[in-house]
Amino acid sequence: MNLESIKAAESRLKEVSVKTTLHKSENLSNEFGADIWFKREDQQKVRSYKIRGAYNKLASMDFSHKINREVVCASAGNHAQGVALSCELLGLKGTIFMPSTTPKQKIKQVYHFGKLSVKIELIGDTFDDAYAEAIKYAEENQFPFVHPFDDPQVIAGQGTVGLEILEQFPEEIDYLFLPVGGGGLAAGVSTVFKQLSPNTKIIGVEPTGAPSMSQSLLAMERVELSKIDKFVDGASVGKVGKLNFQICKETLDDMLLVPEGEVCTVVLKLYNEEAIVVEPAGALSIAALRQKREEIKGKNVVCIISGGNNDITRTEEIKERALFFEGLKHYFLIKFPQRPGALKDFLANVLGPNDDITYFQFIKKNSRENAPAVIGLELSSPQRLNELKKKMEDHKIEFQYLNENQIWFDQLVNIR
């Protein structure tokens, strides 16, 4: 990847992508004792940086010898919206394969941006299912396939984020934190920084449940993960791109993994304190700051917020995962003593005044007097957990702590 191709992409995108703002977060700057800046790619028309790579790819293609001006892609969200809008702007047709499990809101947005230029094929239960069918369809019809990240023109388009950051911030940037999924954004932006700002330390960030780039860099070859947690859907891939890996192994200074629960905490924090709506992948770069707290003190730090396509139906799950990570949400299987007033005693003598019951369900609907109950508690502080357990023991209450028993938790608590 060379700088000239990224500058050429910048020229193509001049009237298409938004020059998103770079603004200082006073809250996080005070918290970390550093100057923390956000590059707000959630401000793009499609609410993510994906329009950059998609449009640059399509605008650089030659359709003069083709009868049908049609492209094909597979996506579970942001890439589909970028391709859809690019097709509409360039007068192309697009067939977009998405998993049948894709939320209706995302499907609606793809049609909104693509209008009559695109059609959607809902295939399979996973992205891999949709991807396989998209490749098959493209080959059978000899239509070009627009890869979401493993493509030089897509990488060049994403790299324009880096050019904008350096234009907007004329001082020395000490640290750059960016999310890593398939590696398109990381490859493009790191190419820019290694050539134009070589002293900047570039930190890639992945969710703990999908460490495909981290594992690949450790092995010094691309590793395909057998299983991933897809919660941070914008950055959860089983295998990074071939070209992306070749670039990132030379340009990234470090890779960090962030627990999904911590990502959720940051999503809520950004909404409550910064009035910014981000998707989980968009919060990754900020969630990683804690791990570099001592290093970044007194430094200029830029975090790329990659997107803001957060589905409101996920809010409860995001809150739940955040509370788990913070040590405030706990589930118990409790067998109350078989005597009158046992539940009343539990409420009065075991729970504190600031502890809340958020879930209560008897295991059996009949014979409730003898049935154990699953109880979810939101505690006032993480330290309350040991106090709570001791009080239950002192009051001869039999219990199992479900947070540490994944099998029982999955069987008894329907929250994830």
* Number of structural domains in the chain: 3
In a domain, 56, yes or no: no
Domain range for 332: 327-412
In a domain, 57, yes or no: no
As given in the structure block, the two tokens for residue 407 are 């099998």
414 exposure class (CB count in 10 Å sphere: 0-12, 13-18, 19+): exposed
**pLDDT of 67:** 66
Query: What is the rounded CA–CA span in Å between residue 234 and residue 231?
Result: 9
Positions marked active-site? 50, 306
In a domain, 395, yes or no: yes
Question: Domain check: are 279 and 163 in the same one?
Answer: yes
Q: What is the DSSP letter of 117?
A: G
308, 403 contact by CB (below 8 A): no
- Residue 329 clears pLDDT 60, i.e. is over it: yes
- Residue 158 clears pLDDT 60, i.e. is over it: yes
Amino acid at residue number 9: A
Lowest mean pLDDT among 82-86, 143-147, 222-226, 309-313: 309-313
Q: Domain holding 135: CATH number?
A: 3.40.50.1100
In a domain, 146, yes or no: no
Give the domain-ending residue among 86, 111, 141: 141
Question: Domain check: are 86 and 158 in the same one?
Answer: no
Tell me if residue 159 falls in helix, strand or coil: helix
Please state the pTM of the whole predicted model. 0.90
In a domain, 55, yes or no: no
Neighbour count for residue 183 (Cβ, 10 Å): 31
Question: Domain check: are 381 and 235 in the same one?
Answer: no
**In this predicted model, what pLDDT tens digit does every residue of 71-80 receive, in sequence order?**
999 997 899 9
Question: Domain check: are 159 and 267 in the same one?
Answer: yes
**pLDDT of 416:** 44
Per-residue b/e over 331-368, b at no fewer than 16 CB within 10 Å? bbbbebeeeeebeeebeeebbeeebeeebeeeeeeeee
Question: Domain check: are 182 and 253 in the same one?
Answer: yes
**pLDDT of 323:** 94
